[in-house]
Structure 1
Amino acid sequence: MPLNMTKIAFSATSPADLREWLEAHAPLGEALMTTRYLPKRHEEMIGGSLYWIFEHALIGRSPIRRFTQREDGRWHIHLSPELIAVQTKPKRAHQGWRYLSEEDAPADLGAGEVAGDAMPARMVSELAKLGLV
Structure 2
Amino acid sequence: MALNLIKLSVGTTSVEDLVAWQGSARAKGPDGLPRHVTRMWPRRAEELLDGGSIYWVIQGLVQCRQRILRLDEVIGSDGIRRCAIVLDSALTRTATARKRPFQGWRYLPPGDTPPDLSRSRESDDSLPPELSSALADIGVI
Aligned length, in residue pairs: 131
Q: Is the 8 A contact 1:6 1:53 kept in 2?
A: yes
CA distance in 2, matches of 1:39, 1:23: 25
Q: Are 1:132 and 2:122 an aligned pair?
A: no
Q: Are 1:107 and 2:110 an aligned pair?
A: no
- Taking structure 1 as the reference length, the TM-score comes to 0.84
CA distance in 1, matches of 2:117, 2:29: 22
Unaligned runs of 5+ in 2: none
Q: Are 1:40 and 2:49 an aligned pair?
A: no
Shift of the 39–61 alpha-carbon distance from structure 1 to 2, 3 Å rule, reads same
* Residue 122 of structure 1: how far off its partner (Å): 3.0
Unaligned runs of 5+ in 1: none
Q: Is the 8 A contact 2:62 2:96 kept in 1?
A: yes
User: Identity of aligned pairs, percent?
Assistant: 36
Shift of the 28–70 alpha-carbon distance from structure 1 to 2, 3 Å rule, reads closer
* Residue 40 of structure 1: how far off its partner (Å): 1.3
Q: Report the RMSD for the aligned CA atoms in angstroms.
A: 2.3
Three-state SS of the structure 2 residue aligned to 1:123 is helix
Q: Is the 8 A contact 1:109 1:115 kept in 2?
A: no
Shift of the 13–111 alpha-carbon distance from structure 1 to 2, 3 Å rule, reads closer
- Taking structure 2 as the reference length, the TM-score comes to 0.80
Shift of the 26–90 alpha-carbon distance from structure 1 to 2, 3 Å rule, reads same
CA distance in 1, matches of 2:96, 2:128: 7
Q: How does 1:2-17 map to 2 (within 5 A)?
A: 2-17=2-17
Q: Is the 8 A contact 1:5 1:97 kept in 2?
A: yes
Q: Is the 8 A contact 1:22 1:82 kept in 2?
A: no
Q: Is the 8 A contact 1:22 1:83 kept in 2?
A: no
